[in-house]
Copies of this chain bind each other. A is one copy, B any other.
Amino acid sequence: MTDRDPTLAQVGEFTVIDRIVAGRAQPPSVVLGPGDDAAIVLAGDGRTVVSTDMLVQDRHFRLDWSTPYDIGRKAIAQNAADAEAMGATPTAFVVAFGAPKETPASAAVAMSDGMWAEVAKFGAGIVGGDLVSAPLWVVSVTVLGDLGGREPVRRDTARPGDIVAVIGELGRSAAGYALWLKGICEPAELRRRHLVPEPPYGQGAAAARAGASSMTDVSDGLAADLGHIAAASGVRIDLSRQALRADHDALAPVAAGTGDDAWDWVLGGGEDHALVATFAGAPPPGWRTIGRVLDGAAGVDLDGEPWRGSAGWQSF
């Protein structure tokens, strides 16, 4: 640690927070930003969408793979995707950050920079937070969102006869993870995708406007997350291998190099935060139809057969 790289303990909580907060431009929906006991945000249509996710070092990210900036982007992206998955627009975030006292204060500022870079993509603000001492990095983010007067798009309202459609990347994060684990440097873009997802911002609201009957984001894996919709809605979902072939084929050469099955990545890989939804009519432009909703016991099939691959992300 050089003199130029003082630690959180040396700089102190309040000075670090001052540095993190300095010069950030809050959007018009923020009535009161950081610096008081709480922030105040306009609730567009009189309702607030709220969701929270916690990222733990060595469980959800590694400090030898991700920069603090990457971690900040990922933490915002995965929370924003939860608001998107309701059909909402993410508007404001609060961030609780635990880290060892030896952590360079510049790392906390860099993480905040990454968070602000990510929220800039959809015009939200980071309105408050907490900074505490912890034996390892823990980043807990809460997103607030605005439904813009629309009904929320839930998980328990898919109907037999609907089509299933997706927008955003599938299997990229899982493929990138395999590359990192095996020390394979290319494709570098896939390695990046594992560190920083690229959710299809704005498409949650687009799906809601198009009448999506149910929606979720792909955080645990396509089959696992559709399994949640199937269970909540009491329907069977049948995915089409043919419709997903382009996703498979894009990853097949990489899978050949790592010794994996690209189908496992496409159907079982999470953390890309694609949006998957069901529609009685046509999905919005850019969405790919990948299956259909059927009557039957709750579950997910691939071409009529139960999917026997990865059960998706396990928290424990």
Contacts and interface: CB of A to CB of B under 8 A. Distances in A.
Residue of A9, A132, A142, A232 most packed against chain B (CB within 10 A) = A142
Contacts of A51: 37-39, 94, 128
A38 B83 contact: yes
B316 A96 contact: no
Interface residues of A, number: 70
Contacts of A129: 52
Contacts of A52: 94-96, 128-130, 140, 142
Residue of A32, A85, A316 most packed against chain B (CB within 10 A) = A316
A152 B40 contact: yes
Contact of A152 (B32, B43, B50, B95): B32
A92 to B, nearest CB: 7
A59 interface: yes
A260 to B, nearest CB: 24
B43 A48 contact: yes
A101 B316 contact: yes
Contacts of A156: 35-36
Interface in A3-39: 7-9, 12-13, 31-32, 35-39
Residue of A40, A49, A156 most packed against chain B (CB within 10 A) = A40
Interface stretch (A143-151, A167-175, A189-197, A280-288): A143-151
Nearest to A17: B315
Nearest to A155: B36
A17 B165 CA distance: 28
A57 B225 CA distance: 32
Given A37-B215, A50-B92, A50-B144, 10 more contacts: A36-B152, A38-B82, A38-B145, A43-B43, A48-B144, A56-B98, A59-B133, A134-B138, A135-B135, A140-B140
Q: Which 3 A-B pairs have the closest CB atoms?
A: A43-B43, A140-B140, A38-B51
8 contacts: A37-B81, A37-B216, A37-B217, A42-B46, A43-B43, A50-B94, A54-B96, A56-B98
